[in-house]
Amino acid sequence: MSCSNHNVYQPLIAVLDEIHDEIQDVRTFYWHFEDPQDQGGFKDFMPGQFAMISILGSGEMALSLPPSPTEERVFFTSRRVGKVTAAMHALKPGDRFGVRGPYGNGFPMKDYYGRNLIIVAGGIGLIPLRSVIIYALHHREKYKKIQVFYGSRTPKELMYTENLKEWRADTGFECHLSVDKADETWKDHVGVVGSLFKKPGVEMPVDNTTVFVCGPPIMFRFVLADLKNIGYEDKNIVSTLERYMKCGVGKCGHCCIGVAYVCTDGPVFTLEQIHRLGEVI
Amino acid sequence: MKGRLIHRNDIIHLIDHLRNNYKVVAPFEGRGRDSCFDEVTDSNRGTVALHLPNPYYPPKRYVFPQIQKLFRIWDGGRASVEEIRDESKVAVVGIRSCDIEGIFHLDRFYLGNTFKDDYYEALRSRLFLVNMVCTDTEKDIDDDCFCVCADAGPAARDHFDLQLMDLHDKSGEFLAVAGTSAGEDLFFQPFFRKAGPEHVTRRRDVLEQVRKRFKIATSWYSSATKFITQGQIKESTWKHVGDRCLECGGCSYVCPTCSCFTVTDRKTGPATWERVRMWDSCALSGFTRMAGGHNPRKAVHDRRNRRFFHKLEHMVIQKEFTMACVGCGRCARVCHGGVGMPAVVEMLRRETAAAKMTEKS
């Protein structure tokens, strides 16, 4: 976490390099800092951390970091839902915007060395978990079994399709895909993402395992119930929380849940911690 | 701490002296019981009030302005985000002990923790505080004051530069105590004279009389804190609080310890904006509403629950070092629903204790 003497609210100017359409209303924005010296902070971060993005004149928002620190390029992926994301989606290559961060605790990936990793993502919940997957594959020998379960509503709504192709071809770990509703192109599993756990041939280790879960609230609830049935303990299930944020540094008060600030104490919490916060998630 | 005497008629000279180096703000009377802090100028210096009701609008705004400009943003050909610095140097004369404690709470919140707030620090480092002890039981204190319960008053023990206290005797003397070396430096000015042990005794006697004035002498903080921390408050109690909340946000705006803000970009030209931050309130429904409409704290009572949880829960108190209430009574005065801090503390205590009795029997 950066904590230097400069003004913590100062956004640094970034230049948009390339835009990639992921799915309907979701785009990935590749970028670099105008001043190469600013890039330092975005070479050394942890999966699960986030950044504050300023779309000049529209406002500032929090976005999770989908790239892994082990990759060369940095980018954000956002869905167009509000005022600032709409302005972001109107940007063209070469346009400037502001970035500050990275903020938050991130997943303690080094603490998970020697453990099995199970990554469960639904829809755009893959955005923060993409970083985890790339990071874990980069340090493949540090982890035992790695399983990815990713589901979306339709085949057209699967994110990061290039990555998915690579992951499916990789024999070093398992990547299971599912869609709620198939179309004529879809030959794979159909059903909610939790149904993949019961797919023939899938064996999920329970002991010495950390499970990452990210996705829409309804998927989250059902997946947690499935995981509980299999026997995973709350302390071994981790997720990242989303909140309205204005500062990212524990001052504006918007993301406060119980005694915690999502921006500085999170956004990564174990399910055990989430229950202890005592608020509706 | 060194004590000196200053005559009531000389306090304006102290203010004039401070005006050489500071923009001095002091309390003035308005109509009725209304009062406000305002800048002391040549034309209004004769009407600075020493005893008057504490202004609703808390002096926290001199370190945490209601609207504060943060950046100047350009986006036309080139893009830049340039910091806006407020270089003003303010001395607040007549700030009450509760508000002193409030600023101290903000100090720990904005300057402590992981990140330091530069804007707060810039204003705070130049701020000079002349505390006025509430001694006039008619004018300074009213029935809603409860600083004695919050351990914040009537006389602040620390965190001021200079403290003045009316000794209420025929001589018209005020006892001055320095809290910092900057405050002590003022004692070289000719309007300060040596104080004797009789003045210290007099100070103690005055304070003893003042303490008797408080109508709410025991706000049941400790039991409210205990019940909140142990999660014993019934959902129905929060609903009772929520039912009376009008969602105006007034309690946050007048609170000397409330620190939440929102940030927005205001257009100032064809390709220029100002990024400003402004006070925000957890009472408002948009406070936690995310893009796309999901709002984790939609119900009013849930939002009220969070306000009092944040101010009174043990872990939060530990984290922010003190309970975020200084007993100024402003929320009790402004709340149209009658759910200011003392009333809520009383509701939490009474309903929870009653529920526990029923469970036992």
Which residues, including other chains, have CB under 8 Å from residue A269's CB and lie 6 or more apart? Answer: A238, A239, A240, A241, A260, A277
Quick check: do A12-103 and A109-240 share a fold? no
Q: What is the pLDDT along chain A (281 residues), one digit of tens a residue?
A: 344 458 999 999 999 999 999 999 999 999 999 999 888 888 889 999 999 999 999 999 999 999 999 998 999 999 999 999 999 999 999 999 999 989 999 999 999 999 999 999 999 999 999 999 999 999 999 999 999 999 999 999 999 999 999 999 998 999 999 999 999 999 999 999 999 999 998 999 999 999 999 999 889 999 999 999 999 999 999 999 999 999 999 999 999 888 889 999 989 999 999 988 876 66
CA distances from A46 to A12, A100, A142, A160, B360 (A): 20, 15, 16, 20, 51
* pLDDT value, residue B216: 74
Q: Is the dihedral of CA A47, A52, A56, A57 positive or negative?
A: positive
Determine, for residues B310 and A256 on separate chains, whether the beta-carbon distance falls below 8 Å. yes
Question: Hey, what long-range contacts does A199-205 have (CB within 8 A, 24 or more apart)?
Answer: A202/A147, A202/A174, A202/A176, A204/A118, A204/A147, A204/A230, A205/A116, A205/A144, A205/A145
Superfamily assignment of A12-103 in CATH?
Translation factors (2.40.30.10)
Predicted-assembly ipTM surpassing the 0.85 threshold: yes
The pLDDT tens digits of the residues spanning B311-351 come to 888 777 777 777 889 999 999 999 999 999 999 998 998 88
Output DSSP code: residue B78.
E
Would you say residue B179 has pLDDT above 90? yes
Please name the residue of chain B whose CA is at the shortest distance from the CA of residue A100. B81
| Mean pLDDT (whole number) for B24-30 | 95
Is 3.40.50.80 the CATH classification of the domain at A109-240? yes
Determine, for residues A83 and B71 on separate chains, whether the beta-carbon distance falls below 8 Å. no
For chain B, give the mean pLDDT.
91
Of the residues B69, B74, B81, the best mutation for testing chain A's interface (the one with the most A CB atoms within 10 Å of its CB) is B81
How many Å is the maximal CA-CA distance in chain B?
A: 76
To which H or E segment does residue A262 belong? Answer: helix A262-265
For chain A, give the mean pLDDT.
92
The pLDDT tens digits of the residues spanning B187-242 come to 999 999 999 999 999 999 999 999 988 887 676 788 888 888 888 888 889 899 99
- Distance between CA atoms of residues B324 and B49, nearest Å: 28
Residue in B110, B296, B313 closest to A251 by CB: B110
- Distance between CA atoms of residues A136 and B199, nearest Å: 72
Determine, for residues A249 and B114 on separate chains, whether the beta-carbon distance falls below 8 Å. yes
| Mean pLDDT (whole number) for B3-10 | 94
Question: Cβ–Cβ contacts within 10 Å for residue B110, how many?
Answer: 21
Written as one string, the DSSP assignment of A151-174 is: EESSGGG-S-HHHHHHHHH-SSSE
Of the residues B70, B285, B288, the best mutation for testing chain A's interface (the one with the most A CB atoms within 10 Å of its CB) is B288
* pLDDT value, residue A281: 64
Determine, for residues A242 and B70 on separate chains, whether the beta-carbon distance falls below 8 Å. no
* pLDDT value, residue A3: 43
* pLDDT value, residue A2: 42
- Distance between CA atoms of residues A36 and B12, nearest Å: 56
**Residue recorded with tokens 């059903």:** A191
Please name the residue of chain A whose CA is at the shortest distance from the CA of residue B71. A10
Number of A to B CB contacts under 8 A, please give it.
Answer: 122
To which H or E segment does residue B256 belong? Answer: none
**Residue recorded with tokens 């950066």:** A2
* pLDDT value, residue B1: 57
- Distance between CA atoms of residues B46 and B40, nearest Å: 9
- Distance between CA atoms of residues A171 and A269, nearest Å: 30
Residue in A7, A56, A251 closest to B73 by CB: A56
Residue ranges of domains in chain A: 12-103, 109-240
Stretch 36-95 of chain B: residues touching chain A, C-beta under 8 Å: 70-71, 73-75, 78-81, 83
Determine, for residues B287 and A84 on separate chains, whether the beta-carbon distance falls below 8 Å. no
CB of B260 within 8 A of CB of A253? Answer: yes
**Chain A contact present for B269, CB below 8 A:** no
- Distance between CA atoms of residues B338 and B332, nearest Å: 7
The A-side interface with B (CB below 8 A) comprises 1, 3, 7-11, 13, 54, 56-61, 81-85, 96-98, 217, 242-244, 246-247, 249-254, 256-259, 264, 278-281
- Distance between CA atoms of residues B358 and B361, nearest Å: 5
Tokens representing residue A51 in the block = 């950044």
**Virtual CA dihedral for B307, B309, B314, B318, nearest 10 degrees?**
-30
Determine, for residues A3 and B75 on separate chains, whether the beta-carbon distance falls below 8 Å. no
The percentage of residues in chain B with a pLDDT greater than 70, rounded to a whole number, is 99
Please name the residue of chain B whose CA is at the shortest distance from the CA of residue A61. B291
Of the residues B75, B261, B278, the best mutation for testing chain A's interface (the one with the most A CB atoms within 10 Å of its CB) is B75
CB of A71 within 8 A of CB of A134? Answer: yes
To which H or E segment does residue B340 belong? Answer: none
Tokens representing residue B314 in the block = 């043990």
